[in-house]
């Protein structure tokens, strides 16, 4: 008799199912996804405050670089989807941080 397979529940299993949709683990690629999303959120949120332009511009720049490399090595569609979300947030934070004072505004010169 066939038994019903239990589906794991919870946020971790859902995220693992999205990122590892091919059934294989991708620890390096998933790390790039997590770093890009966190840096994108940090850059996007800090860009709302003009006095945090150093934080938003640097975190945006690093988020763009990690997201670009993550896109280069990504293996699944879920990874690419989250990388694009993080890249977009990083780019907005980077550009607004540059508009408010830049990478070295007020520190050098």
pLDDT above 70 (res 49)? yes
* Average pLDDT over every residue of 103-107: 79
pLDDT above 80 (res 15)? no
Whole-model pTM? 0.86
> Does 8 or 17 have the greater pLDDT score?
17
Three-class SS of the chain = CCCCCCCCCCHHHHHHHHHCCCCCCCHHHHHHHHHHHHHHHHHHHHCCCHHHHHHHHHHHHHHHHHHHHHHHHCCCHHHHHHHHHHHHHHHHHHHHHHHHCCCCCCCCC
pLDDT above 70 (res 3)? no
């Amino acid at each position: 008799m066939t038994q019903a397979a239990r589906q794991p529940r919870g946020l971790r299993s859902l995220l693992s199912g999205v990122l590892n949709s091919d059934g294989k683990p991708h620890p390096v690629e998933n790390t790039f996804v997590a770093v890009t999303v966190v840096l994108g959120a940090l850059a996007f949120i800090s860009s709302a405050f003009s006095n945090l332009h150093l934080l938003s511009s640097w975190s945006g720049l690093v988020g763009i670089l990690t997201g670009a490399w993550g896109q280069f090595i990504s293996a699944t569609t879920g990874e690419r989807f989250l990388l694009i979300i993080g890249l977009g947030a990083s780019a907005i934070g980077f550009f607004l941080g540059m508009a408010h004072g830049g990478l070295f505004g007020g520190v050098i010169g």
